[in-house]
Structure 1
Amino acid sequence: MTRIFKSITVLIVLLLNINKAYSQVTTVVDENGIIRWEPSGEEVKGFGVNYSAPFAHAYRSAEKLGLDIKAEIDKDLYHFSRLNFDLYRLHVWDTEISDAEGNLLENKHLDAFDYLLSELKKRKINFVITPIAYWGNGWPEPDEETPGFSNKYGKEGSLTNPKAIAAQQNYLTQFMNHVNPYTGIAYKNDPNLIAVEISNEPHHRGTPKEVKEFINKLAKAIRDSGSKKPVFYNVTHSVHLADTYFESDIQGGTFQWYPTGLGFKKEIPGNLLPNVNDYNIPFNNAIENNNAAKLVYEFDAADVNKSYIYPAMARSFREAGIQIGTHFAYDPSFLAYANTEYNTHYMNLNYTPHKALGHMIAGEIFHHTKLGEEQGTYPDNLKFGDFLIQYEDDLAVYNSAEKFIYTNSNSEKPEAISELREIAGHGSSEVIEFEGKGAYFLDKLDEGVWRLEVMPDPFLIQDPFGNNSLDKTLAVIKYNLNEMKIDLPGLAGNFEFKQINIPESKDQKAKGGAISVSPGTYILTAAGRDFEIENYKGDFRLKLDNFVAVEESVDRTYVLHEATNAAEANQSLSIDAEIVSNEEVTKAEIWFQNGNIYEAVQMNAENQYDYSAEVPQNLLIPGIFTYRIILETAEEKLTFPGKVSGSPENWDFYSEDVYATRIYDKSSFISLFDASMDADMVVHSWRPGNKIVPLNSIEDEFQVRLDELFSEDIENKNATPIYNYSFRFNFKKKIGARLPGDQKELIIKARNLKSGTEKLQVALLMENGSAFGKVIELGQDLKEIRIKLDELEPVRTVTLPRPYPGFLPYYFEHQNPQDFDLQMIEAIQFSIGPGIERENLQKSHEIGIVNVKLQ
């Protein structure tokens, strides 16, 4: 017994010494509002993600799928390291790890979180922790009955009820004192903990005095644990209390950014760079006057499956003086096939490689651009430092002397190819030609020695932003042997390569720089260069023979193709499709029909997945041109759409599904908007009176009914009124292959739904975000109003969808040329407000729009 007691005593002393030693390395906020490492004084930098596997839906889903949550965490953290992330943030589901009095509960969720933090430390990834979320644990499912104070009091009660506040104080002190059993270090002493954000999005409704007292009580509870960590508070809600926040006992404010809103339920099209041109903080003086720091706790371009936007957001954050940031949220790999956790977000290295690499570049921006330095105004801010952003090609590039990172195929030349040490890419570039669809990474280990890691090929088979379920597969993964050609100094010609994540793989030789690689990890060596993994003494951050990726999930044949909506007679038209199958596709052809004209054309395979065929000119005559794609495998024929066995040549072929494209005469008008078909893709702020109303058997009307143009924002009571309600439709997909060029006028069929007249500004938006429009007058009678295109003048572009937080700029400020180019238009913007007399702005406004045409 005495021996056991002595052992326990020694262990306690050891843990105390460990905590004391670690507590000497910490962070502080200096007199200029900069987070710095102590004792070195170095500026803290960091970029990464939110990731919630230890809690709520993700944890429950792992249990349902029979998975080991810690093993799944390990897989995703490998990808964090692969993407060079060095920061992590999460709002902890306090409702799962506390009781109603705020006592910390030692349970499976806290254990998984402790494990996650310990593994982050091993990978040199720092973290910001938000101990209180105020959420239930259900989303997207119903909430469970949980023991915590948030469940008992709810968010509103937690902000005002004295018993709830006492519970939070108790919880915060216990939380910070908690010793992580995997590290032996208390949270309060963990050197990787940069800052503590008290709570997630509190939404205060109280007086400044009440709010300040609340914040100070919770900040004190954190410090009562002995913690010296900087305390941050969320300041992007109830921003009229900004002075109160920064006069409280905190060292910094936390910010969010959802520039495309949340929950559009489908992918948002168009150039969204105007939405991220500027992160303007109207209360920045309050921050500077109190020497406070700034960090971003969450950001994402929700409902956007593009890569270009994330580096642009990072640029704007750094311009705004924001020091570190974390994206929301990284999809656990075991859930990413279904995107059930947050269906308005979607990001994972294996499933969205282009977006993941966009975040990798964003991380470089956070590390290599000067805090607060202006990078210009759009479009001049798309090339800055070593960074390049292009909407047209969905491209972002980081091109420094030692690193070359790109999100899609490009022709950029490496800044200093002989000095390159790290390449990460998707698609092809001047140094890598690749036929696969996944990301790849090349890291120079020594002269003439590179490590190559190739991720599997992902295929998005459905829009990931809709109503999702674990039973609904949105994306699949394919392992294939793809050709890669490498053109790097020291690896010229017939270099040698070997797959090292599979034991006993054989040495192989490149042919003219070309190799065939399946997903895995390889060592590439110059001809005659010896290299043994066991003897490697370098500082590469990953184990050399590691490889982590989602397993193959293609279990049938998929044809990923969407018909062009419209085309013009006699113009060329190509049919492109991605074909992925668990069988070898031996033949792919298209059967066309337009009226009584029939043709069959074999599709050309550009690689193992990409197929195309030119439509015969004799089919490109006015009419509805239909077609099917027929595939042959060793076992069967399949017809698409519908994946129907057999082909139309069979007597018992029953499917009536076809792809269809409308072929128009060049002189016919171009439909830009039709309420009966396009209303669900209109981007607008919700109003209860907005709806679709049938007018007759062929026409519907998009009705907008507003009680007033401006209403007070409960989250920003001091906002300057903006008397404008705008909504937008991107018609790029609708007009298909038709190219505007000779049209002379815009025709709007619309009316005022009230007595008298109403003014409506109608504007065409170009791809660069510039808007050209005119105010028209609507009467009570439904009629067509014509605007000559040469009457259009520059007008203000509204950033739509409206962002979170709501204090961000309403209008897009740019330096685009003031020249209208009809061939560059992509959207139409309707605005109620411009031209309306001041005394009528706050009256009700009701309009109906049936269609808009270009003729």
Structure 2
Amino acid sequence: MKARVLLLIVTCIISATSWAQKGTDVYVDKDGIMRWGKTNEEVRAFGVNYTAPFAFAYRTAKQQGVDLKKAIDDDVYHFARLGFDLYRVHVWDCEISDSVGNLLNNVHLELFDYMLKKMKDRGMKFMITPIAYWQNGWPAPDEKTPGFSSKYGKGDCLTNEGAIRAQENYLYQFLNHVNPHTGLAYKNDPDIIAFEVSNEPHHGEPAAKVTAFIKRMVTAMKKTGSKKPVFYNISHSIHLADAYFNAGIQGGTFQWYPTGLGSNHELGGNLLPNVDNYVVPFAANPGFKKIAKLVYEFDAADVGRSYIYPAMARSFRTAGMQIATQFAYDPTYMADVNTEYGTHYMNLVYAPQKALSLKIAGEVFRTVPLYKSYGRYPANATFEDFSVSYEQDLAQMVTAQKFFYTNNTRTVPPAAEKLEEIAGWGNSPVVQYSGTGAYFIDRVTPGIWRLEVMPDAVWVDDPFSKASPSKKMAVVQSRARLINIQLPDLKDGYAVQGMNAGNAFSATADGTSFTVTPGTYLLTRKGATVGDLNVRLHNNIGLREFFAPGSSVTETYVLHKPLTAATEGDAYTVEANIITATVPDAVELYVYGKHWKPEVIQMDAGSGFTYRATISPSFLQSGTLRYYITVRAGGKATTYPGGIPSGANDWDFYGNPYTVPVLPAKSAVYLFAAADEAKLSRNWTPGTSLMPLAEPGRVELAVPVKKLFELDPENRQGKQVHDYSMRYFFGRQVAGRHGDIAKATRIVFHGRTKDGTPLPVQLALIMRDGSAYGGTVTVDVRTSDYSLALADVKPVSVVTLPRPYPSFLPYYFVPSAVSGFALDQVETLQISIGPGLTGAALDSAHELVIESVRLE
């Protein structure tokens, strides 16, 4: 009898479990894997955060008179174009709730509902975080908002009974809310696959209280009848991991900012070591193994290049992440000024190469096996169908059907006749295009392809520098350019027909080339029959769809930075981006040597907006090289620097030239000077000062370090590392000194220490492949030169700078192999306090004063 009862109970449990799996959209299995209820297949999804219905993005749209629903339509179309299949946001609860947690049916909620419907139409899924704990001001001052977060603040929301009750009320109402555009309550919408309770709670209470708080939040959500997995942030306060696992959650959320946040300038150098491995310290915890894992926010902040996102996606998959969303996609109507989150920059129109990199990262998430490891960089730069290259600033995916690339590539797809989808920037063996926007080519049926070309995009300022609504970071232009498409399925002389609204272009390709302007086109092979033009492509893309802002070039931009220095007798190439409303008639370089009259050199147009000219070695004599750039268009001349409205040779010209110091051969090459402190990657320390010296133009940087190791409140059990390191990318500033670098025999530190005893300081040179060589100099209280012979440098550890967040991620990068030291490959300086110290000195305060570091 007992056996029958036991069998009946077991059968009921199995049936109930089976029903739960089949009756819900997503479930978490016993191994902590999210699976689709209908197919039991692993969930793999990838996308972005996007904030148009809320906060600063919403206010900006209103100030500009933007139709927000139309703006959402346009950006969601670009999400489809980039292959995103998941959306996440921390909802600004302060804008859609009152102080006791009642949900407010206002314009923000209505726009959010509208946006979800538009994303559903594109096949996207959602992971929603109902509570942000954010106020709505950033980056501007906060507004007065009615919500409970406004009343209590984040800290009290985690501990105050009134605030906790308000959150319970709000979560219950939020999940029960019916989206008027879908007719579905959030709790019942099959495309909402999971909820995260709140955004980055940062608990500091005892474990029992934390568990009790989370349980109350989970209970409030489950009380709605929702069967969707509930996630909680477990990457903050990780000493509370067991408290999280004991609270009834089904998943944990993580974030990754591997290059820190808020550098206020574009970071240089190879940052693939920073994204080599995503290590979770409590990965062996039995509780962790039972829950699902996702990444609610990630970005390589302040990195403007396109090589890094697929490597991040690979590391996430190795760590067991099933979902990841970049933070944050800039609404197109404000992306030209990048005011929302200045340390991030993502938009298909204005940052096309980065957006294509994100598209490839999505493919990584959908194809790379969970938990599979590919070793360490640089060995893992090629994995499955993907590759990343810092040296070429290139990420690519190459299969028989798909060919995606972020920069010029020579890679030949394995079977061009089988290609179905191409997305790229620049030139490849299949497409040659001189524009600076992205393009997409999709096979519709045999012999018929859809081409989409985005406008040219140019960064006219550093997009990661201090932002303002009145400061343009990027512009776009719709310039006609030649495109050459070499697909076996098209052949010579294919027909070209404009498809998007207002695009009446019609032509026959000259061989495989034709002139194109931004828009969408149907390319038809001779003899092929055009069928239904209402057919939809992947992600529900229509043949006629297109969105891009119009040309925004209203002035001439001459983007040129002269080299910091050049060497006597070398040739000197001047390269500039010339962005004008119309194609210039001529661009001229006026070079002054020993004579008062300049030599005039025509600058040649290259790809995109690039112009180049080479100055002969005869002009590079010890002293100062001086030159101007004159742009001639429409019968007018404008000269730079300064945008002077005349030619450099005109009698009334009054401008100051570009200048380059020309140094005698074998002169020292300065890698870092204290005046460049603003671009030094390091953890800021109290008391840091930049002090002028008596000699004009000279300064020294004082860096006091109270402790080499300080306990991280977010990682209390972390390994103790007694080190303080600084990193400086000097690659651009020594571009004219390669000959002198090759002849260098020692690295010289000029400065002193304020320590009572001599201080060992490690100097290291990081090469393009991420490996580092260095050694230690002993610095005392005298301001002097302290040198290290380059013949004596050895492999040393590379510190991941800027320091990543979460802070539990590795402090040091360990490469798969160490290449031999090569001076022509060095581009970054690392200065470290810690190596060489022992005993009490490891726990003592230190102060290093730096004036410069040079090679000679």
Give the structure-1-normalised TM-score: 0.96
SS in 1 for 2:332: coil
Match in the other structure for 1:102:
101
Distance in 1 between residues matched to 2:21 and 2:144, nearest whole Å: 38
C-alpha change, 1:86 and 1:535, in structure 2 (3 Å) is closer
Match in the other structure for 1:418:
417
Distance in 2 between residues matched to 1:289 and 1:276, nearest whole Å: 22
Distance in 2 between residues matched to 1:22 and 1:542, nearest whole Å: 32
Q: Deviations over 1:37-82 (max 9, x none)?
A: 1132121111000000000000000000011111100010000000
Contact 2:382–2:388, Cα closer than 8 Å, also in 1: yes
Aligned AA for 1:764?
Answer: L
Alignment of 1:651-670 (within 5 A): 651-656=651-656, 658-670=657-669
Match in the other structure for 2:370:
371
Match in the other structure for 1:6:
none
Distance in 2 between residues matched to 1:665 and 1:287, nearest whole Å: 65
Aligned AA for 2:184?
Answer: I
Distance in 2 between residues matched to 1:625 and 1:311, nearest whole Å: 42
1:401 is the counterpart of 2:409: no
1:534 is displaced (CA, Å) by 3.5
Aligned AA for 1:688?
Answer: P
Q: Deviations over 1:474-503 (max 9, x none)?
A: 111100111000111121211111111145
1:362 is the counterpart of 2:358: no
SS in 2 for 1:334: helix
SS in 2 for 1:170: helix
1:817 is displaced (CA, Å) by 2.6
1:750 is displaced (CA, Å) by 1.8
Q: Percent identity?
A: 46
Q: Deviations over 1:611-633 (max 9, x none)?
A: 11111222122222121110111
C-alpha change, 1:539 and 1:296, in structure 2 (3 Å) is closer
Match in the other structure for 2:772:
771
C-alpha change, 1:536 and 1:818, in structure 2 (3 Å) is closer
1:819 is displaced (CA, Å) by 1.7
Match in the other structure for 2:818:
817
Distance in 2 between residues matched to 1:707 and 1:669, nearest whole Å: 33
Aligned AA for 1:464?
Answer: P
Match in the other structure for 2:691:
693
C-alpha change, 1:566 and 1:646, in structure 2 (3 Å) is same
SS in 1 for 2:765: strand
Match in the other structure for 2:265:
266
1:607 is displaced (CA, Å) by 4.9
Distance in 1 between residues matched to 2:175 and 2:536, nearest whole Å: 38
Aligned AA for 2:683?
Answer: S
Contact 2:503–2:519, Cα closer than 8 Å, also in 1: no
Q: Deviations over 1:432-476 (max 9, x none)?
A: 000111000000011111000000001110011122111111111
1:772 is displaced (CA, Å) by 1.1
Match in the other structure for 1:719:
718
The alignment of Structure 1 onto Structure 2 pairs a total of residues equal to 834
1:840 is the counterpart of 2:841: yes
Contact 2:252–2:292, Cα closer than 8 Å, also in 1: yes
Contact 2:21–2:37, Cα closer than 8 Å, also in 1: no
Aligned AA for 2:749?
Answer: I
Aligned AA for 1:615?
Answer: I
Match in the other structure for 2:634:
634
Match in the other structure for 1:796:
797
Distance in 1 between residues matched to 2:65 and 2:534, nearest whole Å: 39
Distance in 1 between residues matched to 2:318 and 2:798, nearest whole Å: 22
Distance in 2 between residues matched to 1:584 and 1:227, nearest whole Å: 59
Deviates more, 1:307-316 or 1:706-715: 706-715
Gaps of 5+ in 1: 1-19
Match in the other structure for 1:439:
438
The counterpart of 1:682, out of the listed 667, 680, 686, is 680
Aligned AA for 1:687?
Answer: T
Match in the other structure for 1:853:
854
Distance in 1 between residues matched to 2:634 and 2:56, nearest whole Å: 42
Distance in 1 between residues matched to 2:660 and 2:370, nearest whole Å: 50
Q: Deviations over 1:721-759 (max 9, x none)?
A: 110010011111121221121111111112111322212
Match in the other structure for 1:450:
449
Distance in 2 between residues matched to 1:22 and 1:250, nearest whole Å: 17
Distance in 2 between residues matched to 1:504 and 1:455, nearest whole Å: 14
1:666 is displaced (CA, Å) by 2.2
SS in 2 for 1:732: coil
Contact 2:328–2:345, Cα closer than 8 Å, also in 1: yes
Contact 2:121–2:540, Cα closer than 8 Å, also in 1: no
C-alpha change, 1:756 and 1:520, in structure 2 (3 Å) is same
SS in 2 for 1:414: coil
Match in the other structure for 1:474:
473
Deviates more, 1:629-638 or 1:556-565: 556-565
RMSD, matched Cα? 1.7
Distance in 2 between residues matched to 1:45 and 1:540, nearest whole Å: 16
Q: Deviations over 1:276-296 (max 9, x none)?
A: 010011111226555111000
Alignment of 1:490-501 (within 5 A): 490-501=489-500
Deviates more, 1:465-474 or 1:155-164: 465-474
Q: Deviations over 1:3-37 (max 9, x none)?
A: xxxxxxxxxxxxxxxxx999944111111111111
Match in the other structure for 1:602:
602
Alignment of 1:180-259 (within 5 A): 180-259=179-258
Aligned AA for 1:634?
Answer: G
Match in the other structure for 2:616:
616
Q: Deviations over 1:572-627 (max 9, x none)?
A: 32111221211341111011124546311011123562211111222122222121
Contact 2:777–2:787, Cα closer than 8 Å, also in 1: no
Distance in 2 between residues matched to 1:537 and 1:711, nearest whole Å: 57
1:717 is displaced (CA, Å) by 1.3
Deviates more, 1:835-844 or 1:449-458: 835-844
SS in 2 for 1:362: helix
Distance in 2 between residues matched to 1:624 and 1:111, nearest whole Å: 62
1:508 is displaced (CA, Å) by 0.9
Match in the other structure for 1:787:
788
Contact 1:100–1:167, Cα closer than 8 Å, also in 2: yes
Contact 1:23–1:189, Cα closer than 8 Å, also in 2: no
1:818 is displaced (CA, Å) by 4.6
C-alpha change, 1:822 and 1:159, in structure 2 (3 Å) is same
Contact 2:498–2:522, Cα closer than 8 Å, also in 1: yes
Distance in 1 between residues matched to 2:385 and 2:225, nearest whole Å: 43
SS in 2 for 1:438: coil
Aligned AA for 2:694?
Answer: N
Contact 1:558–1:580, Cα closer than 8 Å, also in 2: yes
C-alpha change, 1:850 and 1:607, in structure 2 (3 Å) is closer
Distance in 2 between residues matched to 1:315 and 1:421, nearest whole Å: 24
Match in the other structure for 2:45:
46
SS in 1 for 2:496: strand
Alignment of 1:36-185 (within 5 A): 36-185=35-184
Contact 2:234–2:253, Cα closer than 8 Å, also in 1: yes
Aligned AA for 2:653?
Answer: F
C-alpha change, 1:537 and 1:647, in structure 2 (3 Å) is closer
SS in 1 for 2:798: coil
Match in the other structure for 2:32:
33
Distance in 2 between residues matched to 1:289 and 1:333, nearest whole Å: 39
Contact 1:493–1:512, Cα closer than 8 Å, also in 2: yes
Distance in 1 between residues matched to 2:806 and 2:343, nearest whole Å: 16
C-alpha change, 1:532 and 1:480, in structure 2 (3 Å) is farther
C-alpha change, 1:241 and 1:540, in structure 2 (3 Å) is closer
Deviates more, 1:363-372 or 1:409-418: 409-418
SS in 2 for 1:284: coil
Q: Deviations over 1:351-382 (max 9, x none)?
A: 01000000000000000000000011111100
Match in the other structure for 2:5:
none
Q: Deviations over 1:88-129 (max 9, x none)?
A: 000000000001100000100001101111111111000100
C-alpha change, 1:626 and 1:533, in structure 2 (3 Å) is farther
Contact 1:694–1:701, Cα closer than 8 Å, also in 2: yes
